[in-house]
Amino acid sequence: MRGETPILAPTSVLVKPAGPDCNLRCGYCFYRGKKDLFPAGSHRMPPLVLEQLVQQHLSQSAREVSFCWQGGEPTLMGLPFFERVVALEAQYGRGHVVGNALQTNAMLLDKPWAAFLKKYEFLVGVSLDGDAQVHDANRRDAGNDGSWSKVVENIKMLLDAGVATNVLAVVTQDSAGLAEETYHRLQELGLRHMQFIPIVQPDPATPDGVTRHTVRPEAYGTFLCQLFDRWMLDLEGPRRTSVRAFDALLAHYLGLEPPECTMQATCSSYLVVEHNGAVYPCDFFVDQQWELGNLTTTHLARLWRSPRRREFGALKAVLPGQCRDCRWLSVCHGGCPKDRLFGDTPRASYLCDGYRAFFNYAHDRLARLAAEERAPGAAATGGDPMVRQPATSLSPTPKVGRNAPCACGSNLKYKRCCGNR
């Protein structure tokens, strides 16, 4: 593969250096079962695979590229692995601005980790579902002990160390009724960047075909409406909070491409790289059917251009009539294909009723907000500087015009994104 010319490639890779291995046993985890894809035992990315990954990802011509380290639990690799990561990025970056994001359960973090994450400007996403009762209902360790206390302790440590920290909260049927409480609880901890992920998991053994964790469409719609009200109230003022889905929606209303794959027309924003170098088109489709190849034998960019990857990307646009005729298609795009359960024929998202209720509820205010944003001299209120961060700068930060697209890849204007810190 030496001498491969820089070619069209994804600017973002989601890497699973410890495969599906994890130190927690979360009740709703969808990734633990992926261990069946790999030989038994522990799963760790070998040094050679890491070097090939970094070298290939940084051989592209795009200036801003990002690595999202995820799992399983990526901190199982230990700090020396990540020290090697940034050394390789410095070695192979050729004027690139490299962003690193770490999605973690935070259980293994300590002060040396925090100092490292701060020094190299990692964006850290911590999984925390709300208060202790909600969080510990599902996020327990191998001894069946809850993880909330340790996670909160380590979030405070990260914030004290000045690490850019956001929170990823899972929404289950049980927690969907607690939108306001969860939002306030996370705010109280000092978290101002939030992402909420609805659980949707099929289970043919149950009467309604989904697991007990699965958030029902009506409950999810109500959750979004209540959360949206809180987000709107805080838009001006010291408690301004970024909720990723709403920031992405506002980007849509501003005529920009939302930086959220579920709101895009196709599934073509990143690749997943497993610990052994196997490459897949999406985190939710790590399976034999969608294994594109292995970067140890085929360059990442070539896998990105492969017919199979493009076939996957286009599948999202194969929609049922219900979506094609829908008023909200241009913003919803039928939602994430993983939520179109039950069979091979195109089905609307399991969450469709919730989406429609929410879009109807929020439309007027989002349209008004976008009009205010566009008005000359408008104060910046939107934007999510944590969507993707221009983290480890391997070259001097360029001068960016206030109205130019932000270099972090959020698709927002610089003045509404990283220029608004």
Q: Which residues pair with 13 in a beta bridge?
A: 67, 271
Give CA–CA dist 202/193, Å, rounded. 29
Structure tokens at 111: 């002060």
68 near ligand SF4, rule: CB under 6 A: no
Judged by CB under 6 A, which of 355, 391, 392, 420 binds ligand SF4?
355
Catalytic residue among 283, 339, 353, 364: 283
Judged by CB under 6 A, which of 125, 337, 385, 390 binds ligand SF4?
337
Judged by CB under 6 A, which of 326, 369, 391, 412 binds ligand SF4?
326
Structure tokens at 87: 């050394």
226 near ligand SF4, rule: CB under 6 A: no
Site for ligand SF4 in 239-278 (CB under 6 A): 261-262, 267
361 near ligand SF4, rule: CB under 6 A: no
Pick between residue 178 and residue 332 the one whose CB is nearest to ligand SF4.
332
Annotate each residue in 280-309 with x if it binds ligand SF4 (CB under 6 A) or - if it does not, as one string.
--x-x-------------------------
Judged by CB under 6 A, which of 50, 323, 387, 408 binds ligand SF4?
323
349 near ligand SF4, rule: CB under 6 A: yes
* Burial grade of 1 (CB within 10 A; 0-12, 13-18, 19 or more): middle
Q: Mark the segment that binds ligand SF4 (CB under 6 A) among 59-67, 173-181, 227-235, 348-356.
A: 348-356
55 near ligand SF4, rule: CB under 6 A: no
Pick between residue 146 and residue 346 the one whose CB is nearest to ligand SF4.
346
Rounded least distance, CB 328 to ligand SF4, Å: 4
Residues touching ligand SF4, count (CB under 6 A): 22
Pick between residue 282 and residue 418 the one whose CB is nearest to ligand SF4.
282
Q: Is 283 a catalytic residue?
A: yes
Judged by CB under 6 A, which of 157, 159, 329, 378 binds ligand SF4?
329
Binding site for ligand SF4 (CB under 6 A): 261-262, 267, 282, 284, 316, 322-323, 326, 328-329, 332, 334-338, 348-349, 352, 355-356
Catalytic residues: 283
